[in-house]
Amino acid sequence: MTRCTASPRPSAFHVMAMAPRAPLGKLLPERPTRGIAVKGTPEGLRIDLHVVVEYGLNLAEVGTTIRSRVAYEVTRLTGLRVAAVEVHIDDVRRSK
């Protein structure tokens, strides 16, 4: 399931990178599922995303866009109900 969530290119949402969910994760190499946690509940899937976004963007708008697009794509690709998508903006960086 995390592969399905990780499949859209992060840059499509102005996400520069996925952030590790725990401090120890900063020491581990990059993985496609980094910054993504998916939990099944009776109400549906609960998805937590930890992201790093581009400086200068409206963070509320970026979070809303990510939330709705991820819920739509996961439901479309899997047929599973998405109960919640929590977007945690862990850092903001300038473009290079």
Query: Residue 91: what pLDDT?
Result: 86
- What's the rounded mean pLDDT across residues 22-27? 48
On the CB side of 90, how many CA atoms lie within 13 Å of its CA? 18
Amino acid at 33: T
Digit-coded pLDDT (tens) for 28-78: 455 456 788 899 999 999 999 988 888 888 999 999 999 999 999 999 999
Is the pLDDT score of 82 beyond 80? yes
Where do the domains of the chain lie?
A: 2-93
Query: Residue 43: what pLDDT?
Result: 95
Query: The pTM is what?
Result: 0.70
Query: Residue 79: what pLDDT?
Result: 95
CATH T-level fold of 2-93:
GMP Synthetase; Chain A, domain 3 (3.30.300)
User: What is the rounded CA–CA span in Å between residue 68 and residue 46?
Assistant: 13
Summary count for the chain: helices (H), strands (E): 2, 4
Query: Residue 33: what pLDDT?
Result: 60
Query: Residue 26: what pLDDT?
Result: 46
Amino acid at 77: L
Closest residue by Cα to residue 7 from 25, 33, 28 = 33
Give the pairing of strands 82-93 and 44-54.
Answer: parallel
Query: Residue 36's CB: how many other CB atoms inside 10 A?
Result: 21
